[in-house]
Amino acid sequence: MDIEICRKILIKYWGFTSFKPLQEEIIKSVLAGEDTLGLMPTGGGKSVTFQVPGIAMEGICLVITPLIALMKEQVARLNEMDIKALALHSGMTREEIEITLDNSIYGDYKFLYVSPERISSPLFKSKAPRLNVSLVAIDEAHCISQWGYDFRPSYLKIVELRDLLRTSPPFLALTATATPKVIEDIIEKLNFRGKNILRTSFERKNISYFVRKVEDKGTFLVNTLRKVKGSGIIYVRSRKRAREVAEMLSGKGFSADYYHAGISNELRDKKQASWNSGETRIIVATNAFGMGIDKPDVRFVIHWDIPESIESYFQETGRAGRDNKPSWAVLLFNEADKNRLKGSIPQKFPPIEKIKDIYEMLCNYLKIPVGAGKDTVHDFNMQEFVAQYHLPVIVTYNSLMFLQREGYLEFTEEINNPSRVHFIVGRDDLYKFQVANEDYDSFIKLLLRSYTGMFTSYVPVNEDILARKSGLSREKVCQYLIRLSALNIIHYIPGKRTPLVIFTEERLDRKSILISPDNYLHVKEKYLLRLEKMLEYAESETKCRSVMLLEYFGEDAERCGNCDVCRKRNELELSKYEFDLIINEIKTIVYSEKVNAHNLVNRINFSEEKVVKVIRWLLDHNKLHQDEQGLLSWNNS
């Protein structure tokens, strides 16, 4: 297929005349039928790489993503663009899933978004061979790797699509954060038909990275925000902190608001829209804020709390400066942060017996007997659960994460599922019902005027909007919907917001719950390694921040010249070449013997002034140690 067709699609639906870097390469690779791993930084336009060829190719594009909120957002956006798309996830009833799959097989839909745990369900497996799949796109592909920071066992089932789908479509795996080890794992676990990796550098030259070691973060933040212009994000670790920091900033005269997963979906949309438009300048948020952000003019991203991994930090800072204008990423850090992170490790890794306790309590809470429950989906109220069994929330959450890693269950964050309506009767029978039941006639007409597609699928409806349009109360609208459902005219599913637990295996008795000590220690070891790398980044005062980030992802890099470390070096008025040469000569000498400063200066083939500057810099940054006799040695600690 000609790439020109894809360019026309890009212009028609997105309004862009050319692709971003790497997008075109990935699309050409996919069109040629090649399995492809696309490594694109946050904001690089990943969705275009499968949406454009998905529209161009004959058949339906299967998109696998663990982010249900993102899935819903992309499906809604595609449908607004008159591109037919569907979603399949664990928050749906069996009937909804069946209708969605049938529409995917027999309708002219271009995209089917699927959450990974649905792939191994019997219903999906039975219908999948009849799907005319043109492309399988795997978003957040790092989730397939046990070396990644967000491993999901359900991702290991994706490779089964190779045998399930009769069309042998190419696989496109996409991620914004992958170390070399994770890259190898993705290719192996997805059974790629060739090692085809397309990547652009993760380097963001317009972002200046800073670490500020401060005890009073509030005062520092206020003083900094008075100096910088533009809008930004402040990331915090807890919902309580989000509210506190936002209120503190508002009290100081800043236009600030808070955002976290605990507020209603409507309020979250309102807060994000206000920030997107520039009405709100600063959003203080947990990591729930980030999905779907496409605001180009974010001038700063500040981390009040240190993240647990370089991957998380890099992804969140990548939301700054998408317009390629100068932007700043600032991490606020102190010794208390380090102690708090290290102190949280026991809660992050509950004892194996405690994890088993929580598994048994969960099964009892959800009334699942031993030997039953496989592939069942349950609403799950975490607050009610921990209160009933007197459990600490963090230990409970991390135990569920361990049970998920072991493949016993899937635990989704809170899903906002709107109410849905599907007409069970055909149009002729509906007309007869309306004639015979005048009381319902005007309400049915309102439904049909307000929404389309209700005869072929479940359609999200908003009771408040229906109430406003009809002049009825919300309660009266709900009564109409319930009655019509009871009369088998429609099937009405009331909306709800709840996390879900999906049992991927039947309930086991305690002695059969296997949480391998080796696997437990392996997960802990990887976590501690990522944590150490993050702390190393925060504590370093001698290595370019950008270089540290890029080397973590396997890239060679030159120092950026703009981060706090580089700016201190720049003050020495030495070129990078001179600075590195002098340091190497100093290292060679002081590694083998202790020398005084005067002797050291005389032995190095550079001007005395330049050598003294570098020695002073190394002493200031604790790379050189001077003992009581004034002798210098290299500090390896």
What CATH number is attached to the domain comprising 625? 1.10.10
pLDDT-derived band of residue 185, with 50, 70 and 90 as boundaries? very high
**114: helix, strand or coil:** strand
User: Are residue 271 and residue 182 in the same domain, yes or no?
Assistant: no
User: Are residue 9 and residue 71 in the same domain, yes or no?
Assistant: yes
What is the DSSP track for 2-22?
-HHHHHHHIIIII--SSPPTT
Q: The domain containing residue 617 runs over which residues?
A: 572-634
At residue 616, the pLDDT reads: 82
At residue 625, the pLDDT reads: 83
At residue 263, the pLDDT reads: 83
- Which alpha helices (H) appear in 88-179, and where do they start and end? 94-106, 122-127, 161-164
User: Are residue 448 and residue 477 in the same domain, yes or no?
Assistant: yes
| pLDDT tens-digit map of 354-372 | 999 999 999 999 999 999 9
Taking residues 13-38, report their average pLDDT.
93
At residue 619, the pLDDT reads: 81
**Average of per-residue pLDDT values in the chain:** 90
Give me the number of domains the chain comprises: 5
User: Are residue 385 and residue 450 in the same domain, yes or no?
Assistant: no
**409: helix, strand or coil:** strand
Kindly state whether residue 566 falls inside one of the protein's structural domains.
no
Kindly state whether residue 609 falls inside one of the protein's structural domains.
yes
Residue 189 has pLDDT above 90, yes or no: yes
Least confident range from 218-222, 405-409, 526-530, 576-580: namely: 576-580
User: Are residue 305 and residue 453 in the same domain, yes or no?
Assistant: no
Kindly state whether residue 567 falls inside one of the protein's structural domains.
no
Percentage of the chain lying above the pLDDT 70 cut: 99
- Spatial neighbors of 531 by CB under 8 A, at least 6 apart, are 308, 309, 341, 342
At residue 517, the pLDDT reads: 85
User: Are residue 473 and residue 508 in the same domain, yes or no?
Assistant: no
| pLDDT tens-digit map of 135-159 | 999 999 999 998 877 888 889 999 9
Which of 305, 333, 361 is at the close of a domain? 333
Kindly state whether residue 557 falls inside one of the protein's structural domains.
no
Residue 316 has pLDDT above 70, yes or no: yes
The pair of structure tokens assigned to 79 is 């449908």
At residue 637, the pLDDT reads: 60
At residue 632, the pLDDT reads: 84
User: Are residue 510 and residue 490 in the same domain, yes or no?
Assistant: no
User: Are residue 363 and residue 300 in the same domain, yes or no?
Assistant: no
Residue 585 has pLDDT above 90, yes or no: no
Residue 612 has pLDDT above 90, yes or no: no
Dihedral class, residue 482 (left if φ above 0, else alpha if ψ from -120 to 50, else beta): alpha
Which of 176, 199, 222 is at the close of a domain? 199
User: Are residue 155 and residue 217 in the same domain, yes or no?
Assistant: no
At residue 581, the pLDDT reads: 84
| pLDDT tens-digit map of 537-546 | 999 988 899 9
User: Are residue 78 and residue 133 in the same domain, yes or no?
Assistant: yes
At residue 606, the pLDDT reads: 81
Kindly state whether residue 443 falls inside one of the protein's structural domains.
yes
Kindly state whether residue 163 falls inside one of the protein's structural domains.
yes
Residue 264 has pLDDT above 80, yes or no: no
Percentage of the chain lying above the pLDDT 90 cut: 62
At residue 56, the pLDDT reads: 94
At residue 414, the pLDDT reads: 64
Tell me the pairing of strands 207-213 and 327-333.
Answer: parallel
Burial of 267 (0-12, 13-18, 19+ CB in 10 A): exposed
Handedness of CA 34, 29, 39, 194 (dihedral sign): positive
| pLDDT tens-digit map of 614-628 | 888 888 777 888 888
Residue 580 has pLDDT above 70, yes or no: yes
Task: Indicate the DSSP class of residue 170.
Answer: P
pLDDT-derived band of residue 423, with 50, 70 and 90 as boundaries? very high
Quote the CA–CA distance of 590 and 615 in Å, as a whole number: 11
The dihedrals phi and psi of 194, each to the nearest 5 degrees, come to: 175, 150
pLDDT-derived band of residue 1, with 50, 70 and 90 as boundaries? low
Is pLDDT larger for residue 113 or for residue 412?
Answer: 113
At residue 68, the pLDDT reads: 82
Handedness of CA 519, 524, 527, 533 (dihedral sign): negative
**Quick one: three-class SS letters along 50-93?**
HHHHHHHCCCEEEEECCCHHHHHHHHHHHHHCCCCEEEECCCCC
Kindly state whether residue 252 falls inside one of the protein's structural domains.
yes
How many C-beta neighbours within 10 Å does residue 420 have? 20
Tokens 């161009």, residue located = 56
Kindly state whether residue 535 falls inside one of the protein's structural domains.
no
At residue 590, the pLDDT reads: 80
Taking residues 55-67, report their average pLDDT.
94
What CATH number is attached to the domain comprising 326? 3.40.50.300
Taking residues 626-637, report their average pLDDT.
80
N-term to C-term CA, the chain: 58
Residue 416 has pLDDT above 70, yes or no: yes
Is pLDDT larger for residue 503 or for residue 266?
Answer: 503
User: Are residue 159 and residue 44 in the same domain, yes or no?
Assistant: yes
Residue 292 has pLDDT above 70, yes or no: no
Residue 571 has pLDDT above 70, yes or no: no
Which of 302, 333, 364 is at the close of a domain? 333
User: Are residue 157 and residue 34 in the same domain, yes or no?
Assistant: yes
User: Taking the CA of residue 544 as centre, how many other CA atoms within 13 Å lie in the half-sphere pointing to its CB?
Assistant: 20
pLDDT-derived band of residue 176, with 50, 70 and 90 as boundaries? confident
Helix (H) or strand (E) holding 441: helix 438-450
Q: 483, 362 in Cβ contact below 8 A?
A: no
By C-alpha distance, which of 363, 359, 375, 362 is closest to 90?
375
Taking residues 539-557, report their average pLDDT.
91
The pair of structure tokens assigned to 518 is 């080796």
Residue 547 has pLDDT above 70, yes or no: yes
Edge-first strand order for the sheet with 496-503 is: 377-379, 496-503, 409-417
At residue 269, the pLDDT reads: 83
| pLDDT tens-digit map of 425-481 | 999 999 999 999 998 999 999 999 999 889 989 999 999 999 999 999 999 999 999
At residue 564, the pLDDT reads: 92
